[in-house]
Chain A
């Protein structure tokens, strides 16, 4: 008997998506995951604008990872202009990124993921019986948002980071306040690991490879090469690595590598860089009992919890050691060129690419988000996963599939923009 499961509006994800699943005699006949966001054409919108406007505009691709788009755009434009930022500028960009990672992971873990595991329809419904857990989530979110607002003036779409440096620098006392705030949430990050380590995750192995930035010395955020195992891709070569195609009904893109699917995100990062995690993060990872490398997407939540600890530790180190020097935004003469920004953001690797003319006007843009890379893998994971749970009641199948989708922390707001189809 053929069965169809259609989830027209998948909740507890960023943005809008739907799934169409058709099963006949134990076989998946159709499995189609599509973004249903309206198209926003960001690449078209920044065309014709000045080089130092790109990050302000592309920040609006996504609320929860607006810092990511700001930093990727700035990095790409500086690359095109042949500009190397100062050490202080780089450290502050990293701190902004860490703040965003903390608030994004905390939001995803507690508000979008945890209710599935504890049997609630939402985090709000958990308020009565799980207030301490929610309080912990809010503490972490407050800390992450505090870092972003201190550096960027606002917690969403921060404004102070710009091409050539910072429009406003934090004051000495600001760093001290952030240190105290980070100190106070360290225990919340550890408790988050304890909680997510204690949950039961379905056994499943994705056929996708795991790709992330890999760096010889530091856990990767803003620097490194894109890779898997021994494979490496320099950022200037990313176009030859990736091929893209558009799914017929989706305003988001599937990105595929040589027709082979892969995934990005926290699990890919710890698979590739686990030895570079902070001491306490490594300890929490060991306590999780998962063996790495893991291709079980449900483990992405554990990986996010482990990263929370790492991010708090690394942000603490920056706030304790960085002495803010007065530095003006560096003046950079426009010139023609193409540049690529490649960074790790909460959901995986993000690329921004801009081509500028001699006056510094943007003539061409390409943006590839983590979810655009993960989308095919999520869909194919569902196809692979569903046959083994077919005997379960319909509601349970739906819950398992939704948990699978949510474990990737997909952001359909991010992925729903049009990318260039023809690469020359």
Chain B
């Protein structure tokens, strides 16, 4: 049987999702027996520019180089997977789309003649993405499960349950009830509610569920005493570009960060 040919690449990001692949300490050595992990520039010198069955792409498009890489990898991939929050939602770096230009304008390089900067955006705003592995970072076991699934020809389906489902199963006390701004009710689960397990409210890094009730979530947070600017900033931190309706729900108001 020919092995599945796999590439793991990164564009602008923190390398955390790629690390999550190799942090499967117990399975990594078996994994490379089962698939042909042919390209992985983070840890490999030789990374042929050719056709792959499966390409995982970490990071978001933040400059022209990223855009070219994303296009090339799309062409090289039978299946292209957006790996992690930057690739899926744009994550924290895409929050800049919602801040005042004056917040970062002074940080620009003055010596750069031609700024190679493009609007920070997730991969699917530029090329077609076949599958998404959300999360900042995704659970490392989920990446493994995805690859195993691809080998067997049965890629696992993502859950559309909100984070709350797993959170309740884990027996966590509801953080919303004690007044924390938890976005679990509108955020896609599959993370085992890991942040809430650790005591931190959900910030929404896996992006919104398809059937979220955004107005209800906002009114709930307001009842808990959070103002519109805070709610907006929090919701936009990890998934702002996937919540275009937020502005409408807040009646067209835009509370600049």
Contacts and interface: CB of A to CB of B under 8 A. Distances in A.
The answer to whether A and B come from one shared complex is yes
A107 B22 contact: yes
B200 A160 contact: yes
Contact of A124 (B40, B66, B108, B199): B40
A202 B48 CA distance: 30
Interface in B25-41: 25-26, 28-29, 32, 37, 40-41
Contact of A246 (B32, B45, B47, B111): B111
A160 B198 contact: yes
B120 A38 contact: yes
Given A122-B43, A135-B29, A158-B198, A40 B62 contact: yes
B107 A63 contact: no
Interface in B194-233: 194-195, 197-200, 203, 230, 233
Nearest to A245: B111
A283 to B, nearest CB: 27
B151 interface: no
B198 A43 contact: no
B190 interface: no
A420 to B, nearest CB: 6
Interface in B86-140: 91-93, 95-96, 99, 103-104, 106-113, 117-118, 120, 136-137, 140
Contacts of A112: 43
A227 B254 CA distance: 47
Contacts of A123: 43
Interface stretch (A54-62, A302-310, A341-349): A54-62
Nearest to A416: B12
Interface in A30-54: 36-45, 47-50, 53
Nearest to A154: B194
B136 A157 contact: yes
- Determine which residue in B61, B99, B203 has the highest number of CB atoms from chain A within 10 A of its CB, and name it: B99
Interface string B7-27: 000111111111110110110
Contacts of B92: 40, 42, 45, 57, 60
B195 A246 contact: no
B53 interface: no
A162 to B, nearest CB: 8
B253 to A, nearest CB: 16
Contacts of B45: 11-12, 115, 121-122
A111 interface: yes
Contact of A248 (B91, B93, B109, B118): B109
Contacts of A62: 14-16
A157 B66 contact: no
B29 A134 contact: yes
Contacts of A418: 104, 107-109
B14 A413 contact: yes
Interface residues of A, number: 73
Contact of A160 (B46, B63, B66, B199): B199
A47 B103 contact: yes
B111 A11 contact: no
A153 interface: yes
Pick from B63, B93, B113 the residue with the most CB of A within 10 Å. Answer: B93
Contacts of B256: 48
A315 interface: no
Contact of A153 (B28, B112, B195): B195
Interface string B233-257: 1000100000000000000000011
B44 interface: yes
Contacts of A421: 106-107, 109-110
Interface string B68-98: 0000000000000000000000011101100
Interface stretch (A77-85, A139-147, A205-213, A229-237): A139-147
Nearest to A411: B15
Nearest to A69: B14
Nearest to B200: A159
Contacts of A56: 200, 203
Contact of B233 (A48, A103, A246): A48
Given A63-B14, A155-B23, A160-B200, 9 more contacts: A16-B65, A45-B93, A45-B104, A48-B256, A53-B237, A62-B14, A63-B17, A121-B46, A413-B14
23 contacts: A11-B47, A12-B43, A36-B65, A42-B92, A48-B103, A60-B16, A62-B16, A63-B17, A63-B18, A64-B15, A121-B46, A123-B43, A134-B29, A138-B28, A154-B198, A156-B137, A160-B198, A160-B199, A247-B111, A418-B107, A418-B109, A420-B106, A421-B107
